[in-house]
Amino acid sequence: MAKTLLVHPFHTWHRGLSLLLVAALLSGAILGPLPAQGQGILTTIGDFLSLGANTIREIQEAIQLAGQEVRDTLEQLQNDLASMLQQLEQTYQDNLNITINSLDTATRNKLMELQSFITQINDTLQDDIRLVSTEAQNVIREAANQVRRVTNDLKQSLEEVIVVGGETVAFVLDKAFYNGLLIIALVLLGIGLLIFVWLLFSKRLPEGGLSRGLVLLFMGLYVLVFGAIVLVPQARAFVMTQTGIGLRERLDKIVSQPTLLQIVPDSILIGTTQEVDVWGSNLTPDGVSPTATIAGISVPVSAASRDRVVLNVAGLSAPDGSTNLVLTYPERDPLTGVVRVIRPTPIPQPPDLDVTGFSLSPSPTTARANTAASITVLNRGQTEARNFIVQWQPISGQSGTFQQTSVASLAPGASRAFTFNFSYPNAGTFDSVAVVDSLGTVSESNEANNSRTFRITVQAAPPRQARVTVTFTQITVHDDADPLSNGELWLDFNVGGQIGRFPNSGTVDVNSGDTRSINRSFTVTLNEGQDLTVFVNGTDEDSPGFPAFDDHDPMGVVDRRFGSASNWGEGSHSDRSTCPDGCYTIHYTITKVFLN
């Protein structure tokens, strides 16, 4: 089978005829057979149109059965194929028997590509007519993109040409030249007819003989030739093909203007979508890649080929909504498509409790004086923090000194101050720690800012002075020291140098086992470091005139000493006497009040 005959516009009529004969004789030897995918049923343009029509019917059936997720793709595929078949039929018109092998290289290659994609579509529809599987859906989407690209190339190539010829040779004619030839033929025919009419009626033709016959013959041939060119399209095409006027290797020429067909995906989810594929034809004219912008923001071109440009949108930061995607070329019109930019609804960050302030006052701090801690807590997160504890550890790690308060809620961005008080008992240097959410009940975005440490030096306090009161409440007699009758008891007191007697005068009759109330108090003022002394001496007075007995029987003494380190024995005491003769237990309480 023959290849397309190509005759350049400036070749002569004889040169065009010679090429036609050479092509007819040598087509089989020079051009060789059609590649494998072009053999079989696809022999002529008509065969290809039949294949396309059958595929459209298959797609229409699949549209009725397929789910909504691929229905739009099938409808677009059907429209693209139908438009391409219509263009082919309009271009070749009455030349549907032209063999595919006789076409120019560009057209033949594109038809072979389309055959491959159509076969793939048919096979997929036969295997999964409803296109339920993900694999089938992906095959159809990819095939639809490729069909759209190739059909666009074909339509652009065929728009401005007409094809004439027999079954083995296809002539590609430029429509502009074809229509221009019609106009020129009309003008020349009109001018010629006017000249001939003028010659006839002005009697300027030869009167007879051979000369008149030749002129009339020429006039008839002139009218016949230009009339045929005007009235018979085949004659006009014959003139163009035989003279080389308007013959172009149009279908071997790649249309230079880039065309955008589809943007996949057409929605960009900020932070999720990594790449966008721009599908089209001649997207890299002259091997030059375009530059790209989305919403006026430059985006990198990761890869570029003739039919596909890949854009890296991983770092895109554009406003939400529909916007323009623009491919820009040097000295060419830009390509513009529309994409939708979607900014995901931000997920609120969890709470983040931060100890932003921590101070102790006064400064310097003195032992036993009040120290106030001020702690400021800020919620840096975007959600509310609930049910947590703010704790102050005056001495880090020393339990029993911790102070804390519960917080029911702290709003995002809110800050709150807390105050605690403590008296350091001793001088020294201590690590004081402020802690928020000490029990870890709040799930935070940052757990590293929940505490702050302040090193504090506590100075020694000046000596304190206290008023100490010793109150003797009662006495319990164990042995009254009198073998014959009741004992006659009196007590002598000495508390820190303060002396007294019970009773104030005389004695108290007591028997062994008796308890007597005393209610006698002594108050002394002591400085820190001084001891409190408590001395009690008990005596039983015998009746005078009994020489056989002593006048006075000792009932023992209570002698105690209390230091300031133990708060001078503050509290209740019951001390038993030394019992040299009689014996008793004295009950008393000690209270203190610091004066500074």
Structure tokens of 443? 């799930």
pLDDT of residue 220: 83
Structure tokens of 311? 């854009």
377 and 436 in contact (C-beta within 8 Å)?
A: yes
Beta strands 335-342; 321-328: pairing state: antiparallel
The reply to whether 353-459 and 465-594 are identical in fold is yes
- Where does 93-208 have alpha helices with state H? 105-127, 134-158, 175-201
| String of DSSP letters for 325-392 | EEEE-TTSPPEEEEEEEEPPPPPPPPP-EEEEEEEEESSSEETTSEEEEEEEEEE-SSS-EEEEEEEE
486 and 543 in contact (C-beta within 8 Å)?
A: no
pLDDT of residue 71: 83
SS3 123: helix
Cα–Cα nearest to 449, from 391, 380, 392:
380
pLDDT of residue 174: 66
Structure tokens of 104? 């120019």
| Domain 353-459: homologous superfamily in CATH | Immunoglobulins (2.60.40.10)
Residues 6+ apart with CB under 8 A from 261: 145, 148, 149, 152, 279, 280, 281
pLDDT of residue 16: 33
Cα–Cα nearest to 572, from 434, 456, 471:
471
pLDDT of residue 2: 31
Structure tokens of 132? 């339920």
CA distances from 301 to 284, 311, 359 (A): 12, 5, 56
SS3 114: helix
The C-alpha atoms of residue 72 and residue 78 are separated, in whole angstroms, by: 10
* Domain 34-159 indexed as CATH 2.40.50: no
Cα–Cα nearest to 306, from 103, 77, 35, 113:
113
Residues 6+ apart with CB under 8 A from 290: 258, 283, 284, 301, 304, 309, 327, 328, 329, 335
CATH topology for 465-594? Immunoglobulin-like (2.60.40)
252 and 16 in contact (C-beta within 8 Å)?
A: no
Options 2.60.40.10, 3.40.30.10, 3.30.565.10, 3.30.930.10; which CATH number does 256-342 get? 2.60.40.10
Burial (Cβ within 10 Å: 0-12, 13-18, ≥19) of residue 245 = buried
The C-alpha atoms of residue 591 and residue 467 are separated, in whole angstroms, by: 8
pLDDT in tens, the chain (596 residues): 333 333 333 232 233 323 332 233 223 332 333 333 333 457 787 778 788 888 888 888 888 888 877 888 888 888 888 888 887 887 777 777 777 776 766 677 778 788 888 888 888 888 888 887 888 888 888 888 888 878 877 777 776 676 766 666 666 666 666 677 778 878 887 888 888 788 777 777 777 677 777 877 888 888 888 787 777 776 777 777 666 666 554 444 434 578 887 888 889 999 889 999 998 878 888 788 899 999 999 999 999 988 889 999 998 988 889 999 999 998 788 888 899 999 888 888 899 999 999 999 998 888 888 999 999 999 999 999 999 999 999 999 888 889 999 999 999 999 999 999 999 988 999 999 999 998 999 999 999 999 999 999 999 888 889 999 999 999 999 988 877 778 889 999 999 999 999 999 888 989 889 999 999 999 999 998 899 999 999 998 876 545 555 568 889 999 999 998 899 999 999 999 998 888 999 999 999 998 87
Cα–Cα nearest to 51, from 40, 65, 63, 35:
40
pLDDT of residue 574: 96
Domain ranges of the chain: 34-159, 175-251, 256-342, 353-459, 465-594
Residue 252's H or E segment, with its range, is: none
Residue 214's H or E segment, with its range, is: helix 209-231
